[in-house]
Structure 1
């Protein structure tokens, strides 16, 4: 029986303390926090886990330096402290990274004023990271020759943090932690309707990827963590709230690596907003846009592509300007921004932040999580736990550690074993990090089983797809533990493969066919055809 099949059976048969709708970062971290402290939890996601906003980020884990301009100092302080907690708890999955910011002459603030702002930012973060530096034109030229300096008066350098791997994988790890703690969770399960009665909530759901037959799930408390669809689900359940969402579309483009240095290049785009070039494995992620939209369903337009390409070409000295033909992959999603009541006019829009809000209806035993971002996830988990306890739900292991990586001795033991089997000797050329470090970052203590597989069969240490930095041995682990239902779940959300490899190359890669056989067995051909039809609907 597959992991997902077992979870579907539990959803049908068990009763729960808490049912969470939505498997993005808010839902995943809530499930991990509650299950990790002994609460009986169920989690539903109508698509794949982290299939929406949570897989369309910039991979930055940052304190929101841009909010200094709007004088939202309390938020900056909280986000900086949240970033520090994540750096402590996930020392291999989240890394400090330097941001090199270049300013143009005539910018709205003097360079010295901006540099002073980075020191304030550093102090808000308890001086946790490396201190800022003021940079001259010569300093920038020496550090990053690719930066165009014709109209620059210099810049500055400061630290924040980022995910060197997949943002969606980081979210899924919270789902995995919840499962390990006893939660029931399944992707591709849609909540059709939910009603509250004397005995709690009854949610009618269906398996989107199965026969679609409806079934009921029972829980005492319902948490709406549907992200940009939270308002729509509240309408469906006749839940009235003070808060609501407005939407900002953000687009990032993935291109070939712009700089060999492991740092973020920061600029101010033509619309005055911060604009980044961020390392992503063997590629660079550039963006973003910030366009107000009315609905959460969004796509990348040519205007989005041209805005990003025009801005990056203006800021860099490249052998040739980047064009649409240089785009390897794209990210496009909405940021659900929180407003009160009927707020959200143009003035409010410009000042809106990613701060979250948790709204509770005690009589209906219902919570809605509005807004939020990855940096703030641990705070959301803790706040949700406190709100659930206040509703009278027992939290048997309150205060138990529910997040973080395995301890240092385990990591050191893994690295020692990886060295003993000469894992790095089989590394593919062009790898951006050692294979042992990469496997530990992705899987933690589960990575020991990968070393066992390599000992039994050295071919398991081979790269599955050229340039993808993914070993053959990882497939069996993904098939067992990662609840992969469709090929894109694996290519785009459990890994970065679809973001760092051209779609045409994936369609032709023998490693993708091999992955289908391992992940889907008898359904391999159907799942591959499904992927091709989605990515190449015209047959090209």
Structure 2
């Protein structure tokens, strides 16, 4: 089936949902909802998905860009959570190698740390710190079992300083190198959605669920309003899945079930810095201790460095969580503690904040487990809450397994027979035929692209890079950068218009191209080029382009310094 999410077919996709009795309607177009749609569609269910804003516009586009087991959960003795995440990490690397790749992490051991990696050691135990930390990393590898990416190894002070020339030397005793993985969270979400579409799922953004429909003592569908046209439609479904993350309580209240969901919201802030300023190469750095006993990271990503994250309770607007001066000061203060660089707020390229929906258990948000929970509110209505990006596939499987069990006990002869979960070994869009990828790079170079640009396109699009090259073949002007010193070309905009359902300029700049995050200072010129390409590809009316430029300037959710 066709995996494309067509922006020009948005409304017709919603109308098709309304004309067809679905098995499962998913509310929420973040990574969790995308995972549920894929799991269900790949088993044979008739699936629809609606998202009130853009895909991955909430938490799923605002993470640290890591796919990881979570070494900080080891001191909490949450071994089963770490094991589950490590297994899912390996599956993602296998199923989406163009989007999820192994990344080395350096952990420096400093004399005098009080709570390294969150481990509380009494003063007499300080000499045992290197042993304790290495034992933790050994356990991390052991929990991964045969799905380990690469095993950790000790690193000398000299090698640590070679990897990170700006690392502080005072008190540095030794270091270790371990491996997790990295991704582009928003692009991963869209890839999962497109894979669901390839299995027959109908997915649409900017469509808000306004009410639940009941028939015969169970939830049987959703009233949906298209946020672009204003059109209201009723979508019928035997099951409605609430996968809305931080909005899960609000959606549950549509069924009068809000009391069954208790979430603690935690704000995570990330700072984007020039990579060369912090001396970052191809490895990430673990800041081994913070004043509140958690970890922070400095991660190389798309030519920049991401410093994050905070973990603080949050009770403000869920639409646009702010990056405060205190958030910036906290992260820069801890980076300066371990890096011999006088980082200041003026050094920031950009900053962004996201909210984590944690299953409430009392205590500090930093101590609350990242486990997920499936809540069955009433017949036909279920919520998936909590969890983390790395374990989205397992979360989705748990939801669809519940639906399959309940369908199996139903006397309704209309229930369709479906197969078992298939997603553990299901490649995502772009992961097909990896053996052909070197040839795609060679074709790109022959078409006049630089080897660096060709490699970046492959890392973003995988086998879909062939479609990018076809666009350039038809229109060579699409090989040009969107603006000087901007690492994106016109063909990426046209491709995204055809297959990823961008509605607004912000969707393209923030989540499809990531330019608002990577190059905000060059954004004005790039934004105008992007808007012009979108106007042509999506056949915008004459005044739409300027309106979109103004909307983007006024409302971009990524903060530039």
TM-score, normalised on structure 1? 0.90
Deviation at 1:497, TM superposition (A): 1.3
Counterpart in 2 of 1:508? 525
CA–CA distance in structure 2, aligned partners of residues 153 and 139 of structure 1: 12
Deviation at 1:405, TM superposition (A): 3.9
Partner of 1:469, secondary structure, is: coil
Q: Deviations over 1:483-512 (max 9, x none)?
A: 10111111111222111012x421133533
Call closer, same or farther: CA 1:513–1:296 in 2, change over 3 Å.
Answer: closer
Q: Which aligned pairs between 1:18-417 and structure 2 lie closer than 5 A?
A: 18-108=24-114, 109=121, 110-126=129-145, 128-163=148-183, 166-198=184-216, 200-210=219-229, 212-239=230-257, 242-257=260-275, 258-267=278-287, 268-295=289-316, 297=318, 298-318=321-341, 321-339=342-360, 343-346=361-364, 349-361=365-377, 363-392=378-407, 393-400=415-422, 403-405=426-428, 410-417=433-440
**Do the aligned partners of 2:298 and 2:307 also contact (CA within 8 Å) in 1?**
yes
Counterpart in 2 of 1:430? none
**Do the aligned partners of 1:64 and 1:76 also contact (CA within 8 Å) in 2?**
yes
**Do the aligned partners of 1:247 and 1:295 also contact (CA within 8 Å) in 2?**
no
TM-score, normalised on structure 2? 0.87
**Do the aligned partners of 1:53 and 1:334 also contact (CA within 8 Å) in 2?**
yes
**Do the aligned partners of 1:296 and 1:334 also contact (CA within 8 Å) in 2?**
no
CA–CA distance in structure 2, aligned partners of residues 519 and 104 of structure 1: 55
**Do the aligned partners of 1:465 and 1:512 also contact (CA within 8 Å) in 2?**
no
CA–CA distance in structure 1, aligned partners of residues 534 and 355 of structure 2: 30
Call closer, same or farther: CA 1:133–1:415 in 2, change over 3 Å.
Answer: closer
Point out the more displaced range, 61-70 or 397-406: 397-406
Q: Which aligned pairs between 1:490-505 and structure 2 lie closer than 5 A?
A: 490-502=508-520, 504-505=521-522
CA–CA distance in structure 2, aligned partners of residues 100 and 64 of structure 1: 14
2:482 to 452, 459, 464: 464
CA–CA distance in structure 2, aligned partners of residues 424 and 99 of structure 1: 36
**Do the aligned partners of 1:411 and 1:440 also contact (CA within 8 Å) in 2?**
no
Q: Which aligned pairs between 1:508-527 and structure 2 lie closer than 5 A?
A: 508-509=525-526, 510-520=528-538, 521-522=540-541, 523-527=544-548
Partner of 2:433, secondary structure, is: helix
**Do the aligned partners of 1:479 and 1:518 also contact (CA within 8 Å) in 2?**
no
CA–CA distance in structure 1, aligned partners of residues 43 and 456 of structure 2: 29
Q: Gaps (5+ residues) in structure 2?
A: 1-6, 115-120, 122-128, 408-414
Deviation at 1:145, TM superposition (A): 1.1
**Do the aligned partners of 1:516 and 1:527 also contact (CA within 8 Å) in 2?**
no
Deviation at 1:453, TM superposition (A): 2.4
Call closer, same or farther: CA 1:138–1:414 in 2, change over 3 Å.
Answer: closer
CA–CA distance in structure 1, aligned partners of residues 264 and 307 of structure 2: 24
**Do the aligned partners of 1:484 and 1:519 also contact (CA within 8 Å) in 2?**
no
Q: Deviations over 1:256-312 (max 9, x none)?
A: 103341111111223221111011111100011111123462211111011111211
**Do the aligned partners of 1:52 and 1:333 also contact (CA within 8 Å) in 2?**
yes
2:8 is equivalent to residue 2 of structure 1: yes
Two-structure CA RMSD over aligned residues (Å): 2.5
2:548 is equivalent to residue 530 of structure 1: no
**Do the aligned partners of 1:475 and 1:518 also contact (CA within 8 Å) in 2?**
no
Point out the more displaced range, 105-114 or 192-201: 192-201
CA–CA distance in structure 1, aligned partners of residues 219 and 271 of structure 2: 45
Partner of 1:463, secondary structure, is: coil
Q: Gaps (5+ residues) in structure 1?
A: 428-432
Call closer, same or farther: CA 1:252–1:439 in 2, change over 3 Å.
Answer: same
Deviation at 1:195, TM superposition (A): 2.9
Counterpart in 1 of 2:125? none
Deviation at 1:327, TM superposition (A): 1.4
Call closer, same or farther: CA 1:237–1:66 in 2, change over 3 Å.
Answer: same
